[in-house]
Amino acid sequence: MKERKAIWIYLILLFSASALFIFQTQCRHDDLNAATLAKVCFQTDIGPIFLRSCATTGCHDSQRGRGGYSFTDYNSVMKAITPFNAQKSIAYKAITGKGFVQLMPPSGALSENERILIRVWIDQGAENTTCTTSTTGGGTTPPVAVAQKVCFQNDILPVLVSSCGITGCHDQTTRKEGYTITSYSTVMSNLVVAGSPTTSRLYTAISGSSSSENFMPPKPYAALTTAIKDSIFNWIKNGALNDVCTSSCDTTGVVTYQKQISALISRNCISCHSGTNASKGILLDTYAGVKTYLDNGKLLAAVKGTSIQMPPGYSITTCELRQIILWKANGATQN
């Protein structure tokens, strides 16, 4: 009788071990042959996942870095990665619950698609690459394909503050219609649904018909350019992160109006200084207009804050200021 009981216990343990092995094998996605799959790129596909799910305040951000790991950029992520071997990578073990007391992220597991993408990226070599088209899928195709990352602090916030967060509209004091558009937290509070531009009040307001009473910015303010609208679309679509691009401002080579200055002015000045109702009659919507105020010294005085602070409410970056100075020193060429 005891021998029969022992046999049953042995069979139960054997069955349990087999089932556990099968389960673990399935969770490891061992049927994936990374070399035969489409390229998964860090900047386009993987970085946004880690920023959105791991590099949150108090977890694996640049300040705290719990457990000694930060997931804010490629170099910090690679401290938890073993290229070509997801199974030995600490980051992959954490998101699949292998060898850790708690599954990561603690707020909720990543989706199966996200885990597979990370697995494939690691097994493909975990390179710091950028794809012109994201492999994550799922949603409306952006109106314009963008190869360069769109970052909130560099590309989105300056436009929103100069075009929306102005006196009489959506600044901290006026808060027209209850909306404040002066910082990441105020924008995200009730204007953006991360990952879904078409259900985000911010995007639907700027992309609608100019004849609509809800169209923003309202007349007589200048409408946002198509390029800026597309940048906002892509920023929201890619997770609406509060990120900073360290390489978006380039001062190498010859700085010209067409290459750098036009976009700089468009981001920071054009909403107030264009059209028939331009603030104080100052027009900066053409090369001739910008050069006029560059030559008389008023443009640099304003952006430096030595006369009046422009744009109002914030300063352009040191790199952008350097671009204007270099442009002037090089003859303020247009092309």
Say what the pLDDT of residue 19 is.
Answer: 40
Say what the pLDDT of residue 213 is.
Answer: 66
Q: How far apart, in Å, are the Cα atoms of 4 and each of 8, 16, 84, 131, 295? A: 6, 18, 47, 61, 98
Say what the pLDDT of residue 31 is.
Answer: 46
Decide which of 268 and 18 is more confident. Answer: 268
The residue among 239, 133, 145 whose CA lies nearest residue 196 is: 239
Angle, nearest 10°, between helix axes 318-329 and 287-295?
90
Task: Enter the tokens of residue 203.
Answer: 């995007």
Percent of the chain with pLDDT strictly greater than 70: 76
Q: What is the separation of C-alpha 12 from the centre of its chain, rounded to a whole number of angstroms?
A: 51
Query: What's the pTM value of the predicted model, to 2 decimals?
Result: 0.43
Task: Enter the tokens of residue 87.
Answer: 């199974």
Is 281 in contact with 243 (CB distance < 8 Å)? Answer: no
Mean pLDDT of 10-28: 41
pLDDT in tens, 121-148: 998 899 998 876 544 443 333 333 333 4
Mean pLDDT of 176-205: 91
Q: Is 79 helix (H, G, I), strand (E, B) or coil?
A: helix
Confidence of residue 26 (pLDDT cuts 50, 70, 90): very low
Query: Where is average pLDDT lowest: 29-33, 77-81, 181-185, 194-198?
Result: 29-33
Say what the pLDDT of residue 20 is.
Answer: 38
The residue among 313, 256, 328 whose CA lies nearest residue 305 is: 313
Say what the pLDDT of residue 258 is.
Answer: 83
pLDDT at 291 over 50: yes
Say what the pLDDT of residue 11 is.
Answer: 44
Say what the pLDDT of residue 3 is.
Answer: 56
Say what the pLDDT of residue 16 is.
Answer: 45
Beta strands, E only, 175-314: none
pLDDT at 299 over 90: yes
325-313-250 Cα angle (round to 5): 30
Say what the pLDDT of residue 306 is.
Answer: 83
Say what the pLDDT of residue 144 is.
Answer: 34
Say what the pLDDT of residue 93 is.
Answer: 87
